Chains A and B, each alone.
Chain A
Amino acid sequence: MATQPVLREALTAGFIEDLIRAEKEVSLLTSRCKDHPSDLQGRVRLVYRMFHRASLTGRLTDLGDVEAAIDETISQFGAKEDLCLLKANLDFRLHRLAAVRRDLELAPLLPGRFEARVLQADLAFQLGQYEAARQTLQELIEENPTWDTVARLAHWMSKLGDAAEADRLYEEAEEFLSAKQMLSYAWLELQRGMLDFNHGRYPEAWAHYRRAEAGYPGHWQTAEHFAELHAAEGNFHEAERILLQVIVRTSKPEIKQALGELYMFTDRSEQAQPWFDSALTTYLESVQRGGVHYFHHLADFYADARLELAEALKWAEHDMKMRPNFSTQSALAWALFRNGRMKEASEYIVLALDSGVRDAVLYSCASELFEAAGETDRSAHFAKLAMQMNPKYRNFRIHH
């Protein structure tokens, strides 16, 4: 009998089928909207389907198309709640946090709606207001438990609480999902796999990733996680092969950076450079267009991939101003450290640690930083914590 996850049906519809359907729907609705330009219902449906398509492809250009379509629809029909909510979601995804609030306030009653409050909890988390985020999520779950609110609380727990509780909540979120929501199910399985991965439990991570693939075959996101796990286990060629495939499918610059980092990790610096060049070009093009989504990638990139420490600091500062949370604080601390500004680096790493976040990589970063600052006891403490949390934290990993 099967020991790997198997499908109930031989061929479960997955990424490709979803994408084809989304493309078809977008095409049909586009045509219908041309024939019926005053059909608001059709237009709203179209922009939502475009958003779905962009979610699948992960392409920034698709998100750009959605944004243009939303703005055009709002301009023609006014600030309807569903349009403003979608706009806010889009801005959130692109890290334009100040815009999210503005979007929600475009429709007077929207900020008080359940869906908007969910987004506000996300916003609070990104702005480092962790307790407010948790409280809001718990209130929302009490009011109307949905898979995504429970998953959000799980995500909170995975960062700031107990990993076992996070996993339990992710599993609880899965119980809400039907077979018609396999994309969401696969995403939850990936999160559960990442929880294991971040604690060095690779066999358990594999099991979750395989369930994600079995439930929703063919998604590049799952492939990306497979690649990371292969690399972490030392199967670099397989990781490379998969990452190359993902790049062909998505052209995502962060995956190109990840491939470059894999080459660097395996002492193939020359091979890394074209991928770094390509990733950097896309990051900078985005910035030139006014985008802020890649600030954190730029900070990482210049701090580690291609050492330009002043640039690393610049982007880390930009990102931290926008999203003052443990992630941006630690990135800034690292950039400051790499620039030799130890005092400020210490301040920021303490800020990040004070958030209560539990992460082996952050502990390791803190350890290194305190070591350089001469605080050996503190350094040892965090080195120990990192090792306790994930004995394999030095293995290859991707910034998801």
Chain B
Amino acid sequence: MNDRRKEFLQGVLMGLLLFAMLLAILLLAGDLSDSKFIYVDF
């Protein structure tokens, strides 16, 4: 029983990590080719 609980909690932890990765991608990803500077891009 304890082993199954430990396995489940390990899974939950992996789920949290996966969510943290998804959040990092959503907050940090973007189009690098797109410039919106007013001034001309050299």
Binding between chains A and B = no
User: Contact residues of B with A, CB < 8 Å?
Assistant: none
User: Contact residues of A with B, CB < 8 Å?
Assistant: none
